[in-house]
Structure 1
Amino acid sequence: MSFLNKINDYRRGVMRGLTKNIGKPKTELDIILVDKTEIKRVLICRPNGRLGNLLLITPLVQEVTEIFPNCKIDLFVKGTLAPIIFENYDSVNKIIDLPKKPFKSLLKYIKVWISIKRQNYDLAINVDQNSSSGRLAVQFSNAKYKFFGDLIDESQLVKSDYDHIAKYPVYNFRYYLTKLRLAQSNKLVAPIDLKLSSSEIAEGKKILNDLVQNTKRTICIFTFATGAKCLSEDWWNNFYTQLKEEYKDFNIIEILPVENVSQIGFVAPTFYSKDIREIGSVIANADLFIGADSGIMHLASAVQTPTIGLFSVSNIKKYEPYDNCSVAIDVNLYAKKDYIKIINSILNNGKLGIYSDAI
């Protein structure tokens, strides 16, 4: 571990200790929101720059937009991906991005915090209750209503899907709103959504057609993942051989990571791009996506393609793909016949997503 990494780890530990009690008294719950139209400017805080984590806040953004349709949302994040991910979200007004390495961009880091203090927000929301920067940003803001992301009522835990990282912020926020005297919502949590345009879908179809040059249905695979989440070359080679044998009437293409590596040695037709929306548009034209827990897995889910998430070490209940027949598989427990059964079930049900008519 480098010296800077050690400093960052120490900084995170100190920040968590300093911010863990911010918002705990919940004095803001004594305030009643009389008129929802009062909420015009909203700050949502998720100071994280990973593709998956940013995609996973799209259900909360949709929830806030539905409850407060006249509001404009500023997103407090990290890195440069958020403007790309939220490009077609009309309610998103501004992206406030922390530099990925604050010690190397100290002046910008300070300016970001000052900009939050200078804005007049009606509502500030921290997505992850364990995020010290998120809690601090909400506290630092001038918002009248402040939600720090905490689980206010443990009765929410009875929901079977509460543990999911895209869903529990929505459930917690809904309960917070009941304390402001708003009606409890019992709607299903919205899917993760990249909001691709029809022109993007059409371009993705063209790219895919140029790659396969036939009219067969398509299965996309993504063989990469970071760290221990990445399945071995032997596992993937055996699985790819199995797919080719079972699905001779399908195209099987590999979506490559930005690192341009392949666990199957590039033996399948491949697609490589650094453009997140372009990658999403290609996957949106496929019938099925199969890949380990990763940002690209969440991207596949965000373009409404049925997704099979392959989990070996990650918390399935927290990160599993959902909606549109998507499922998570624990590779430590499943046998060959189980994979085929699940794949057949999804392919036979067909694509149910919002982009299906465009494919």
Structure 2
Amino acid sequence: MSVAEFCVTDSRVSSHPAPSWGERIRQWRRNNRQRFNRTLARLFGTSRAKRMPLAPDTRRILVVRLNKRLGNILFLTPMLRSLSASLPEARIDLVIQSPAQVALLQSLPGVGQVYIQRNSLFGLLGLLRTIRRQRYDLAIDPTGNSASNRMSMALSGARQRLGFANKDQWLPLTHAAGRTQSRHQALQAVELLNDAIAEPEIECFDTLAVFPDNQARQAADRIWQTTLAGQADEAPVIGFFARATGRKQLPRHWWQAWIIAMRAAAPSAVLVEILPGDDARPISDELPHVAIKALTELAAFMARCDQFVAADSGPMHLAAAAGVPTVGLFQATSPRDYAPLGQSCISLEGKRLTPELTARTLAARL
């Protein structure tokens, strides 16, 4: 298949089979849950924005983001930095689901404890007791569309609750912002603070960020020397990640064509592939490649690259957070919502999403 054939969208109308009984039952449950949420919202919830000052003694803050996707967790970093800068005496704790992401969040200023939600009943009860003992002054749901986040906020016992107001918001909030669909997912969380908190004034950050510690940077330096073996002493290095989930992933032959185009556009550049695991097959056995499990070490390794390119994925956002000029490739999602947020980061989509143009773009940026 040629690149031109790859970029063409099939516009033929296909017939869809009737939904299975399982799909019908799931849809029925979703509809009933939605009706139940709206009934609760009308009785107790928060359907309109509510901008209020924070209590002057707000010092203990809990952010609830029950999600395992790396990109979604990195989307918290502008909001967390905004909170820390605006409330410098506060300690910000979080509840997430992936232990692998704890060190990334704890590298941020103001962040204290990062709790992990376990799936076992005893684990959940133990976490709830621990959280309630902290007597949080403020709990935040940065998404507005997660029933798990809302339930955790409700059970936290926090005396102030901040989130998005909408017709399905059944949780009584003390501070609420209207939901906007016109901004990047990460920036909506910053807007939540600015629109729902009247005082203090919010200092807003608009880029992703992580700050690996010295141990992570030293480990990344050793991996860099082993992987590149002196190839990058004077040559520019372009890192790339060729995987993504579902329709976001570009096919293998696209990346092979990109490597050929990249060698023509920037012959001196060294290409290094980031792999999702040790057992993953590289795009080219001739290129250096590496799999790094610890995310802080991976971020520190990426930070040494001159450029990074990837489809919409967690590593793309991690590269942007590490400060690497990143080119994001979008064929199934919108850069408006998911672009890499960082210094000198850009996105390519539509007709611009070809191996040749991507290679020329990267070469011009070196």
| Distance in structure 1 (CA, Å) of the matches to 2:149 and 2:259 | 41
CA distance in 1, matches of 2:273, 2:237: 11
Q: What fraction of aligned residue pairs are identical, expressed as a percent?
A: 24
Q: What corresponds to 2:3 in structure 1?
A: none
Matches within 5 A, 1:266-277: 266-277=285-296
2:347 maps to which residue? 328
Determine if the alignment matches structure 1 residue 196 to structure 2 residue 226: no
Shift of 1:165: 0.9
Q: Give, as a single letter, the amino acid of the residue that structure 1 aligns with 2:54.
A: L
Q: Hey, what's the Cα distance between the residues in 2 that align with 1:323 and 1:116?
A: 33
Q: Which has the higher contact order (CA 8 A, sep 6+)?
A: 2
| Contact 2:51-2:197 within 8 A present in 1 as well | no
> Could you tell me which amino acid in structure 2 is paired with residue 129 of structure 1?
G
| Gap change, CA 1:302 and 1:11, over 3 Å in 2 | farther
| Rounded Cα–Cα distance in structure 2 between residues aligned with 1:7 and 1:273 | 42
Distance in 1 (CA, whole Å) between partners of 2:33 and 2:134 is 23
Matched, 1:132 2:153: no
Mapped pair 1:236 → 2:258? no
The answer as to whether partners of 1:233 and 1:263 remain within 8 angstroms in 2 is no
- Which residue identity lines up with residue 337 of structure 2 in the other structure? K
The one-character-per-residue Cα deviations of 1:51-105 (angstroms, maximum 9, x if unpaired) are 1111111111111111111111110111212322223235222222212xx3xx2
**What do the CA deviations read for 1:321-353 (whole angstroms, capped 9, x no partner)?**
022110111155434553244323432xxxxxx
SS at match of 1:120: coil
Query: What is the CA-CA distance between 1:243 and the residue it aligns to?
Result: 1.0
Change (3 A) 1:110 1:122: same
Name the CA distance, whole Å, in 2 between partners of 1:73 and 1:177.
16
User: In structure 2, the residue corresponding to 1:146 is in which secondary structure?
Assistant: strand
* Superposition pairs of residues 175-190 of structure 1, within 5 angstroms: 175-178=195-198, 181-183=199-201, 185=202, 189-190=205-206
Q: Distance in 2 between matches of 1:10 and 1:64?
A: 40
Give the TM-score normalised by structure 1. Answer: 0.81
Contact 1:297 1:309 in 2 (8 A): yes
Q: Shift in Å at residue 19 of structure 1? A: 4.9
Cα deviation, residue 290, structure 1: 0.6
**Do the aligned partners of residues 199 and 96 (structure 1) sit closer, same or farther apart at CA in structure 2, a change above 3 Å counting?**
closer
- 1:52 is matched with 71
Aligned counterpart, 2:117: 98
SS at match of 2:186: coil
Query: What amino acid maps onto 2:224 in structure 1?
Result: L
Return the alpha-carbon distance in structure 2 between the equivalents of residues 12 and 65 of structure 1: 37
For 1:318 and 1:127, the matched residues in 2 are separated by 15
Out of 189, 203, 210, the residue aligned to residue 169 of structure 1 is 189
Computing the radius of gyration from Cα coordinates, the structure with the larger value is 2
- What SS is found at the alignment partner of 2:211? coil
Q: Distance in 1 between matches of 2:28 and 2:126?
A: 23
What is aligned with 1:207? 223
SS at structure 2 position matched to 1:305: coil
Q: In the alignment, is residue 316 of structure 1 matched against residue 335 of structure 2? A: yes
Unpaired segments of 5 or more residues in structure 1? 348-359
The normalised TM-score by structure 2 is 0.79
Aligned residue pairs total: 329
Q: Relative to 1, partners in 2 of residues 1:123 and 1:10: Cα closer, same or farther, differing over 3 Å?
A: farther
One-letter code of the match for 1:141?
S
Name the counterpart of 2:276: 257
The 1:211/1:31 distance shift into structure 2, 3 A limit, reads: closer
Q: Does 1:24 align with 2:46?
A: yes
